[in-house]
Amino acid sequence: MESLASFYPLLATLAAYAVGSLSFAVIVSRVWGLNDPRTYGSKNPGATNVLRSGSKAAAIVTLLLDALKGWLPVVLVRYYGKPYGLEDGTLALVALAAFVGHLYPVFFRFIGGKGVATALGVIVGINPLLGLAVGASFGILVFFSRYVSLASMVAAVFAPVYYVFGDGVAWRMDNRVLLSMTVMTSLLVWRHYENIKRLLKGTESKLGKKKTG
């Protein structure tokens, strides 16, 4: 039994990756009878592209489910993992695995989204106050800049910064969780490289405005 317990962190990490690999943009679109989000618009399987199908309901459901699949594995380890030897190190691995699953889903030919909703779900799972701070930052940045992509990236960068400065005040920081969060931030920014190009050129679409080209 003890030898089996040594595999629990690995099993939890693989399970988190499998959950993260559920591409809800594709699943929800199929249930709604919509076109595959990987075939139109930005071809990104995420809530924003599902919104381009014209179904706000499908986009909202996609957004919530993408966040949920990041939140659930983290919360399960955080609150129920200790009896099975799943400590903060496993939580860090599970958090990253769920996020990577969204980016590179094994069930969908490793073609995934940019991970914004899933990352927020992971962060809320790590600490709700941290998630609130990151979510509020995103909202404020979108309100003033009207660039969802820019707000997503900046809020993601703020996440590990908030985590460090909140240590001993709102939560207890773990370096492994910090590393996991930093890797997630780096991957999220990297997945927005096309948006970065458009931002630099001044051609990125603003919220509420249609693309002109």
Please state, in angstroms and as integers, the Cα–Cα distance from residue 96 to each residue in 29, 85, 167, 177, 200, following that order. 26, 18, 20, 9, 29
Residue 3, pLDDT > 80, answer no
Split at pLDDT 50, 70, 90, the class of 198 is very high
158 close to 134: Cβ distance less than 8 angstroms? yes
Better-scored residue on pLDDT, 38 or 75: 75
Q: What is the DSSP letter of 52?
A: T
pLDDT tens digits, one per residue of 131-150: 999 999 999 999 999 999 99
Split at pLDDT 50, 70, 90, the class of 212 is very low
168: left (phi over 0), alpha (psi -120 to 50) or beta: left
pLDDT, residue 213, reads 36
Q: Where are the domains of the chain?
A: 2-201
Q: Long-range CB contacts (< 8 A, 24+ apart) of 24-27?
A: 24/61, 24/62, 24/65, 24/66, 24/69, 25/49, 25/50, 25/62, 25/66, 25/113, 26/108, 27/65
pLDDT, residue 205, reads 86
37 close to 26: Cβ distance less than 8 angstroms? yes
